[in-house]
Amino acid sequence: MVSSPEAQEHMPTILLVDDERQIIEFLRMGFEYEGFTVHVAMTGHEALQAVERHKPDIIILDLMLPGLDGMAVAQQLHGVYNTAIIMLTAREEVEDRVAGLELGADDYVTKPFAFKELLARVRAVLRRRGLQLGNVLVFQDIALNRSTRVVRRGTREIELTPREFELLELFLSHPRQVLTRNAILARIWGYNYVGDDNVIEVYVKHLREKLQDLPPQLLQTVRGVGYVLREVKS
């Protein structure tokens, strides 16, 4: 029996607020892949309207917005909406962090950032607010525990490197869904990755070896597109 990862979790609504379209699309893709309901805004005024309309569980709020900046947005939301806020900015000054936290921000992330770090912070903030997100992903005889970072296939425990773990977590989060090479690169290696995209083949090969999926049956190549996790037919 296949247990769907999506069925194990309550996935909340997230509002992304940033005036850089590249970052918005990168974050939208990442959080949608994780199963979140995603809304976006590119100005402070759009953000306030989106909060009123969608009542998001959490906001990723860029500090340096045109017109009404992130601090002003947080100030207007403070005490009115019980929405978690993670500030996102290129500035690292302690004064900015303190000001943001005093206005009710739950956390602070500086650019450039890795999506996995931001996702971990989002999960931590939501847990503190009582929204429990599932920690165990299961597909056929593979189980991955996000909390303990233990991976098993059947009764056999599998040791993975951090990058291998992230890659398997991505596939387990989206069974039967073809993941493009670009999507995998952006999600695992970051939106500003400029290295050789053959790195995906290397890590997929390692993952197949450790899962004893050779020749590949579970983690299949979709030629010219990417990869997909599918049931092994008996």
3-state secondary structure of 71: helix
Confidence of residue 192 (pLDDT cuts 50, 70, 90): low
Classify residue 182 by its DSSP letter: H
Residue predicted with more confidence, 98 or 115: 115
Domain boundaries, the chain: 5-128, 136-229
The residue written with tokens 């299949």 in the block is 220
Residue 88's pLDDT is what?
Answer: 86
Q: For residue 154, what pLDDT is reported?
A: 87
How far apart are the C-alpha atoms of 65 and 71, rounded to whole Å? Answer: 9
Q: What share of the chain is helix, strand, coil (3-state, %, to 5)?
A: 40, 20, 40
Q: Are 83 and 77 a contacting pair, CB within 8 Å?
A: yes
The stretch 191-216 carries a mean pLDDT of: 87
Pick the CATH number of 136-229 from 2.60.40.10, 3.40.718.10, 1.10.10.10, 3.10.20.310: 1.10.10.10
pLDDT of 134: 63
Does residue 120 register a pLDDT over 80? yes
Give me the percent of the chain exceeding a pLDDT of 70.
86
Contact 230, 218 (CB under 8 A): yes
| Res 94: pLDDT | 65
Checking if the pLDDT of 58 tops 70, the result is yes
C-alpha distances out from residue 29 to 17, 44, 115, 233, Å: 14, 22, 11, 30
Across the chain, mean pLDDT equals 85
CATH number of 5-128: 3.40.50.2300
